[in-house]
Structure 1
Amino acid sequence: MAHLLGAEGLHLEFPTKVVFDGVSLGIDEGDRIGIVGRNGDGKSSLMAMLAGRLQPDSGRVTVRGGVRVGVLDQADTLDGTMTIAQAVVGDMPEYEWAGDANVRDVIAGLLSGLDWDGPIEGLSGGQRRRVALAALLTGDDDVLFLDEPTNHLDVEAIAWLAQHLKRRWSAASGGLLVVTHDRWFLDEICTKTWEVHDRIVEPFEGGYAAYILQRVERDRQSAVIEQRRKNLARKELAWLRRGAPARSTKPKFRIDAANELIADVPEIRDPVALQSLAVSRLGKDVVDLLDAGVTYGDREVLHPFEWRIAPGERTGILGVNGVGKSTLLGLVSGEVEPTTGRVKRGTTVQVATLTQRLDELEAHLDKPVRVVIAGLRTTYTFGSGSKSAELTPGQLLERMGFAGAQLSTPVKDLSGGQKRRLQLLMILLEQPNVLILDEPTNDLDTDMLAAMEDLLDTWPGTLLVVSHDRYFLERVTDQQYAILSGHLRHLPGGVDEYLRLRERERNGPEKSAALDTTSSKPKLAGAELRNAQKELAALERRMSKLESQIVAARTAMADHDQTDFAGLGAEMSRIGALESEREVAEARWFELSEVLE
């Protein structure tokens, strides 16, 4: 592969810290590289040096002649006096940009609903982010550097961006370097991963899942790696292999190696123990929303619906910005009263909400971290049953990545990610039995997200989560709902089903009407109902078998003689046929699920 750009002997030092020392690396044609690492270890600084935005103290960066590099900064750099059109296509005549398929695709994917000729000034942070991203993607750069491209994007826009980047160049051309904490996005688009830590950049083959496998193996062989970090990585690998069926359709690492590494790792959650403990803390009644609806003025935000939330339920909520997710959470917490219907709460219910704001910290800004935590509770019960343990506030802080020196730091001097973690710990120490998380992943790196997920795995209560971080949502919840056209709808197929429904909703009112949960659907009874249920169960067994066959075929192909082109072609054809059969089965499964729902 042709070389695009590279770095040799990079050394970067700030007054209080050496960030990089002797780092050498390169980007070749076809590379799709994700950068991971703890906040503050230098991910954005590395990208800035490679892009020529930051000069190293020593070493050099070289770029092949004629290579065009485009950069998406993490900070907002848009000129507010410009219109959206000027920012995205400049002075290009309309007939030119309208005739460019790539430009049309970007505008449709990121700017739908915005005033094309309206000023940038006055747009929200999320809208400005979309404009900046669109302005970059409508260009014709050979290499793209994206610093937190998924910030402020919803699940739908993130899925679009991933597909755009995957088809932007051919497999052996172009280069991509991305810093993001969105693990689903990393796994979807990256072929390599660079981990930034301890003044170095360590390369790994594959996306996030492959990186986790290799890091587990590295940690197992190294006696100096912290035991807790190793266990968290192994636990996350276990979920990647067991808990996310979508990932098994295109494995990025050897299945037998992964199975060997997680052979002694238990399931990430003990649902029976958690359910039992949740019932003992909550009783059988949690929150029942009975024909509850909300109207603001002439706008009906939530049509009347019924939702009985069970003890120990772990539910993710999906929906575009402004569709009513916060209103739904407000109904559950009691901050919003229904316009129609009623909300019934169990007598022992104690609801706590982790909001996008940091209100819990306002009264403690001048206090050291240890003083804030010690004033709440002396111990915290971690786990359940025979596996439960009592943790001190200091131990709890350590689990969430607070070093000893940081315990004496005033709250006002903490980073955004540290404040976010402290906010969650303060809420958990209050020991609520219903926990609402509204965009909890903001400002957290991948290691801290894993630590938060580990903590939530043993939390024995009812959990409701709103998040644009697809990986986190699928990881900590067991089911998902969406707000579509003002209706609350269950998603048996998870996030993938949500994206399909949103696509249908955008295609026109005649199709979006099908999303109405109150619209007439064929009602099955008697023999028809039993036959549909049997067919659904048979489809689930068939899809599971097909998944196993596809995984086995791909694994076998990796061991196949790579010079046997005829044999490889035949294997690829067989895999393609299996995947097509699986897609047909999935389509029928979704069709039956909607009828039986």
Structure 2
Amino acid sequence: MAHLLGAEALHLEVPTKTVFDSVTLGVAEGDRIGIVGRNGDGKSSLLMMLAGRREPDGGQVTVRGGTTVGVLDQADVFADGETVGSAIVGDLPEHEWAGDPRIREVIAGLVGDLDWDAPLDGLSGGQRRRVALARLLVGDYDVLFLDEPTNHLDVEGISWLAAHLKRRWPKGQGALLVVTHDRWFLDEVCETTWEVHDRIVEPFEGGYAAYILQRVERDRQAAAIEQKRQNLARKELAWLRRGAPARTSKPKFRIDAANELIADVPEIRDRVSLQSMAVQRLGKEVVNLLDAGVAYDGRTILEDVEWRLAPGERTGILGVNGAGKSTLLGLISGEVQPTSGSVKRGKTVQVATLTQRLDELEEHLNEPVRVVIGRLRTSFTVGSGSKAQELTPGQMLERMGFTSAQLSTPVKDLSGGQKRRLQLLLILLEQPNVLILDEPTNDLDTDMLAAMEDLLDSWPGTLIVVSHDRYFLERVTDQQYAILDRRLRHLPGGVDEYLRLRAAEDRAREQAGAAGGAAGAGGSAAREAGSAGAAGPAAAPGLSGAERRAAEKELSAVERKMERLQSDAAKARDGLAALDQSDYALLNAEMVKITALEDEVAALEDRWLELSEQLG
């Protein structure tokens, strides 16, 4: 592959530390590189040095002659008075940009819903981000540098961007370097991963999943080497104390294959124990939304929402910006009152919300972290049953990535990611039994996201998550719902099903002639193309008469069986409240039965979805 750009012996320092020391690397045609690492280790600095936006303190960056470079940084900067259209295509005549298929696709996929003549000063952060992305992607570049491109984008926008980047250049051409904490995006787009750590850049083959497997193996080898060194040191010490050394054989470390590496790793969550503990803490009734609706100033936000939250339920909520997700969370927490229907809460329910703001920290900004934590509980229980473990607040802070030195740091001097982690810890130390997370992944790097996920794995309660981070959403929840057309809809097929439903909405809108204006003319088609690229192949072709009748018959049978099993599961859950709550063996046995019923329902839902797609 042809060389595009390279870096030789890069050295970079900031006032408090050396960021890079003698880093040498290269980028070739066809490279799709994801850059990961802890916040503050230099990911963005590396990207900007390679892009020519920042001068290194030593070494040099060379670019092949004629190579064009496009850069998206974290700040969306526009000239005063610019509109959506002028920011994206500048002074280019309409007949020129409208005649370019790539420009039409980018405009439709990212800003098709925006007013072409709207001033940028009046747009939200997410809308400005989409305009900045569109401004970059309409250009023809050999290399793209993207710094956190998924910030402020919803699930659909991220899916469209991934599909666009995968087909932007022919195979073996162009190059992409991206810094992002979105692990689904890394896996979907990147074929190489660079980990920035300890003043070096370490390459790994493959996307995020492959990188994690290789990193675990690297850490295992390092641990084995360290253990071997310590063993040799102990033997040397024994020889010095006892005299002549004994001849000993050296242990041999064998590198296991990836499947052997994770073969003994248990399930990420002990669902039975967690649900049993949740029943003890919450009882039978948690929060029931009964035909609930909310309307403001004559505009309906939600209507006919029927949702009975169960003890230990872990649910992700999807929906476009403005669909009513925050209103739904407000109904659950009690901050929003329904204008129709009702909301009922159990007597023992204690709801806590991790908001997108940092309200919990406002009163503590001038206090050191240890003082803030010291006012709260002296211990925190993680896990359940025989795996339960008591941790002090200090141990919890360490688990969330804080060092002992940072305990004396005033809250106001913490980084955005540190404040986010402290905010979550303050909420968890209050011991709520219903936890709402509203965009919890903001400002966190991949390692800290993994630490948060690990902590939530042992949290016994009902969990509701709203997030545009697809990886996080699917990792910490067991099911997903979406707000579509003001109603709450279950998604047996998860995020992929949501993307298909949104694409279908766009097709229906296009067929109804709702799309209009030059910028939106190809919007539905392009968005549909992007969604299809992420969501999979289209539905099967038409069925014959006999095949259709057989499918309809099976669909009816599946629906009847699903209803019966759901009824059995609901009765079994209701019966838990009547059992002796101290008899853990009996509770666990009942939860095993309930879980088996729910697993069977989930399998039937998948089959129901397949049949529905076949029948159109």
Q: Which TM class, normalised by the smaller chain length?
A: 0.7 to 0.9
Q: Residue by residue, what CA displacement relative to the aligned partner does 1:195-214 show, whole Å, maximum 9, x if unpaired? A: 00000000000000000010
1:435 touches 1:462 (CA, 8 Å); kept in 2? yes
- Is contact 1:505–1:511 with CA below 8 Å preserved after alignment? no
Rounded to whole Å, the distance in 2 between the matches of 1:76 and 1:172 is: 30
1:470-525 CA distance string (max 9 Å, x none): 0000000000000001110000000000000001111225989xxxxxxxxx9x99
> Does the 8 A contact of 1:324 with 1:486 survive in 2?
yes
How has the CA–CA distance of structure 1 residues 528 and 260 changed in structure 2, closer, same or farther, with 3 Å as cutoff?
Answer: closer
User: Who is 1:562 aligned against?
Assistant: none
Corresponding position of 1:349: 349
Is 1:530 matched up with 2:530? Answer: no
CA change 1:527–1:320 in 2 (3 A) is closer
Q: Summarize the Cα distance change of 1:346–1:494 in structure 2 as closer, same or farther, 3 Å threshold.
A: same
Query: Could you say which residue in structure 1 is the equivalent of 2:424?
Result: 424
For residues 201 and 436 of structure 2, the distance between their equivalents in structure 1, rounded to whole angstroms, comes to 37
Structure 1 residues 533, 84: CA separation in 2 closer, same or farther (over 3 Å shift)? same
Does structure 1 conserve the Cα–Cα contact (< 8 Å) formed by 2:36 and 2:181? yes
In 2, Cα distance between the equivalents of 1:48 and 1:135?
19
Query: For each residue in 1:338-380, what CA deviation from the matched residue of structure 2 results, as whole angstroms up to 9, or x when unmatched?
Result: 0001000000000000000000000100110111111111000
Distance (Å, rounded) in 2 between the aligned partners of 1:32 and 1:525? 45
Matched with 1:183 is 183
> Closer, same or farther in 2 for the Cα pair 1:491/1:528, shift >3 Å?
closer
The code of the aligned residue for 2:161 comes to: L
Task: Provide the secondary structure at the position in 1 that maps to 2:464.
Answer: strand
User: In the alignment, is the contact (CA less than 8 A) between 2:31 and 2:174 conserved in 1?
Assistant: yes
CA-to-partner distance for each residue in 1:233-287, whole Å, 9 max, x for gaps? Answer: xxxxxxxxxxxxxxxxxxxxxxx93220111111000100000000000001000
Alignment-derived partner of residue 93 in structure 2: 93
Deviates more, 1:390-399 or 1:585-594: 585-594
Matching of residue 202 in structure 1 with residue 229 in structure 2: no
Query: Which whole-Å CA distance do the structure 1 matches of 2:394 and 2:258 have between them?
Result: 34
Aligned to 1:590: 609
Partner of 2:495: 495
Q: How does 1:70-149 map to 2 (within 5 A)?
A: 70-149=70-149
**Amino acid paired to 1:151:** N
Report the equivalent of 1:546: none
Shift of residue 85 of structure 1? 1.1
Question: Matched residues, percent identical?
Answer: 77
CA deviations 1:60-96 (Å, max 9, x no partner) are: 0000000000000111211241111111011111011
For the residue of structure 2 that corresponds to 1:508, the secondary structure is helix
CA shift in 2, pair 1:137/1:366, >3 Å: same
- CA shift at 1:14, angstroms? 0.9
Superposed CA deviations along residues 294-346 of structure 1, whole A, max 9, x for unmatched, are: 11112111012210000000000000001100000000000000000100000
CA contact (8 A) 2:558 2:608 kept: no
CA separation of 1:292 and 1:587: change in aligned 2, threshold 3 A:
closer
1:342-491 map, 5 Å: 342-491=342-491
CA distance in 2, matches of 1:28, 1:141: 14
Aligned CA distance change for structure 1 residues 97 and 386 (closer, same or farther; 3 Å): same
Alpha-carbon distance, 1:588 to partner: 7.0
Structure 1, gaps ≥5 residues long = 228-255, 513-521, 537-584
Change in CA separation of 1:213 and 1:373 when aligned onto 2, cut-off 3 Å: same
Partner of residue 156, structure 2? 156
SS of 1:292's equivalent?
strand
Structure 1 residue 152: Cα displacement: 0.3
Query: 1:375 is aligned with what amino acid?
Result: R
- Tell whether the 8 Å contact from 1:39 to 1:444 is kept in structure 2 after alignment: yes
Mapped to 2, the partners of 1:586 and 1:30 lie a distance apart of 40
Structure 2, unaligned runs of 5 or more: 228-255, 513-548, 564-603
TM-score (norm 2): 0.80
Q: 1:535 to 1:403 in 2, by over 3 A?
A: closer
Checking the alignment, whether the CA contact within 8 Å between 1:29 and 1:174 is kept in structure 2 is: yes
Distance 2:281 2:35 in 1: 42
Residue 39 of structure 1 corresponds to: 39
Distance 1:455 1:78 in 2: 40
Larger radius of gyration: 2
Per-residue deviation, residues 392-411 of structure 1 (Å, max 9, x unmatched): 11100000000111110000
CA contact (8 A) 1:166 1:189 kept: yes
**Structure 1 residues 594 and 386 mapped into 2: Cα distance closer, same or farther (>3 Å)?**
farther
Classify 1:61/1:525 alpha carbon distance in 2 versus 1 (closer, same or farther; 3 Å): closer
Which residue is equivalent to 1:259? Answer: 259
Counterparts of 1:508-523 in structure 2, within 5 Å, are 508-509=508-509
Q: Quick one: distance in 1 between partners of 2:364 and 2:225? A: 34
SS of 1:66's equivalent? coil
- The 2-side partners of 1:65 and 1:525 are apart by 62
Cα pair 1:78 1:128 within 8 Å, conserved:
no
Partners in 1 of 2:62 and 2:555 — Cα distance? 68
* Structure 2 CA distance for partners of 1:119 and 1:281, relative to 1, 3 Å: same
After superposition, the Cα gap between the structure-2 partners of 1:336 and 1:511, relative to the gap in structure 1 and judged at 3 Å, is: farther
CA separation in 2, counterparts of 1:396 and 1:156? 35
Alignment CA distance shift 1:354-1:527 (3 Å): closer
1:236-251 mapped onto 2 (5 Å cutoff): none
Contact 1:84–1:117 (CA<8 Å) still a contact in 2? Answer: yes
**Aligned AA (1:337):** Q
CA distance in 2, matches of 1:511, 1:327: 30
Structure 1 residue 171 displacement after superposition: 1.3
Deviation at 1:586, TM superposition (A): 11
8 A contact 2:555–2:608 mirrored in 1: no
Q: Deviations over 1:104-132 (max 9, x none)?
A: 10011100211112211111111111100
After TM superposition, list the pairs within 5 Å mapping 1:283-302 onto structure 2: 283-302=283-302
CA RMSD of aligned residues (A): 2.5
Distance 2:510 2:127 in 1: 28
> How far apart are 1:224 and its partner, in Å?
8.5
Paired residue total = 511
| Matched position secondary structure for 2:79 | coil
- The residue type equivalent to 2:556 in the other structure is L
The one-letter code of the counterpart of 2:53 is: R
Q: Distance in 2 between the 1:593 and 1:226 partners?
A: 56
Residue type of the alignment partner of 1:529: S
**2: CA distance between counterparts of 1:37 and 1:407?**
23
Within 5 Å, which residues of 2 pair with 1:259-278? 259-278=259-278
> 1:212 and 1:533 mapped to 2: Cα distance?
43
Instruction: Give the deviation of 1:531 after TM superposition.
Output: 5.8
1:542 counterpart residue number: none
State the SS of the aligned residue for 1:204: strand
SS at match of 2:121: coil
Alignment TM-score, normalising by the size of structure 1:
0.82
Q: Is the 8 A contact 2:559 2:608 kept in 1?
A: no
| TM superposition shift of 1:592 | 3.6
